[in-house]
Amino acid sequence: MAMLFATIAISIDAMLPALPDIAAELSPAAPNAAQLVVTSFVLGMGIGTLFAGPLSDAFGRKRIIMLGSALYAMAALACYFAPSLEILLAARVVQGIGAAAPRTVSIAMIRDLYSGRGMAKIMSFVMMVFTVIPAVAPLMGQGIIAIADWHAIFLAYIAFSAVIMLWMGLRQPETLPRTSRRPLKMSTLWSATKELGQHRVIVISTIVQALTLGALFATLSSMHGIFEARFDRAETFPLWFAFIAVGSMSGSLLNSRIVMSLGMRRVITGTLAAQLALTILCLVTIATGL
C-alpha cells in the first residue's frame, strides 16, 4: 500500500532537482515555466481522482490500479521523448491521471478492510513508510541526472510502475468482491455526490484537505527555486528536502501512536493549529529578514 501511495511522491519529488535542466533545455527564455512540470502532474492527478474511485467500485480495485499504472508508464515514455515543454506538460497531465488510480484506489482497499480509528492507524503506518519516499526521491533524481540526464528519470518511473503491476498481479488479492460492486451509472454518481454534499463534516473536510494539499503542492513546485535563488543551496537541496521529509515521517509515526487514544478530530484540529502557527512564524521570519 505504501508503494501505491508513493507513486505521487516519487513522481513529483524526483523531478525537483531536474527543473533547472528542463528549463535550460526546453524553456530557456522563461525558466520559471519549468515549474509547470509539477503543476501539470497535479492537475492530471486531480482529474484522475474523480474517476478512479467510481471505476474501482464498478470493476474492482486491482483492475483499475493495473490500468492506471499502465497509463502512467506510457505517459512516462511520452515524457522521455518529449521534444518541447508543451508536449512534456501534456504527457505529465496524462501521467497524473494514471497515477491517481494507485493513490486513490489504495485508500479504497484499506477502507474495504478497516474502518474508524483502526483505519486511521493503518493509514498512519502507510503514510510513515510513504514519507520515506520524499526523503530519497530528490536524491534519486539528482543521482540519475549525474549519471545520465533528466530524461532518464522517466525511465525510472516506468520501472517503478512495472514493479507495482508485477506485485499487484502476483501478490495482492482483490478486496472488493463482485457481490459488493456497483454499476457505473451517471445517475448513481450524481445522487451519491449530492448526498455527500449534504453532509457538513464531509464538505468541511474536503475544503480543509483541498487547502492543505494546495499549499503543499504550491510549496513543492517552488521550493527548489527558493533554495537556489534565496539561499544559494541548489546543490544541497535534496539533503535539505530529505531533512524536511524526515520531519513529516516523524509526524506520521506520532499520529499513529496518538490517534487511537485522542481521536481523529482532536488530532486533526491540533495539527492544523500547529501548521497555522508555524506558517505565521515563517512569514514573520521572512518579513523581518531573520
- Per residue in 244-283, pLDDT (tens digit) is 777 777 776 777 677 777 777 788 888 888 888 988 888 8
pLDDT at 130: 65
Q: What is the pLDDT of residues 211-232, one digit of tens each?
A: 877 777 777 667 767 777 777 7
| Residue 256, C-alpha cell as written in the block | 499513529
Q: What is the pLDDT of residues 5-20, one digit of tens each?
A: 778 888 988 898 898 8
pLDDT surpassing 80 at residue 152: yes
Instruction: Say if CB 19 and CB 35 are below 8 A apart.
Output: yes
Length of the chain: 290
Backbone angle region of 82, left / alpha / beta, with phi > 0 → left and psi within -120 to 50 → alpha: beta
Q: Which of 184 and 16 is assigned the larger pLDDT?
A: 16
Which amino acid is located at 211 in the chain?
L
pLDDT at 98: 95
Instruction: Say if CB 17 and CB 136 are below 8 A apart.
Output: no
Spatial separation of the C-alpha atoms in residues 144 and 17, rounded to whole Å = 10
Task: Tell me the mean pLDDT in the region 84-109.
Answer: 92
pLDDT surpassing 90 at residue 184: no
| Three-class secondary structure of residue 249 per DSSP | helix
Instruction: Say if CB 39 and CB 164 are below 8 A apart.
Output: no
Class of domain 2-288: mainly alpha
pLDDT at 226: 74
Q: What is the pLDDT of residues 20-72, one digit of tens each?
A: 899 999 998 888 888 899 989 999 998 998 888 889 888 988 999 999 999 99
Spatial separation of the C-alpha atoms in residues 35 and 152, rounded to whole Å = 18
pLDDT at 151: 96
Instruction: Say if CB 259 and CB 267 are below 8 A apart.
Output: yes
Give the domain ranges of the chain: 2-288
| Residue 288, C-alpha cell as written in the block | 523581518
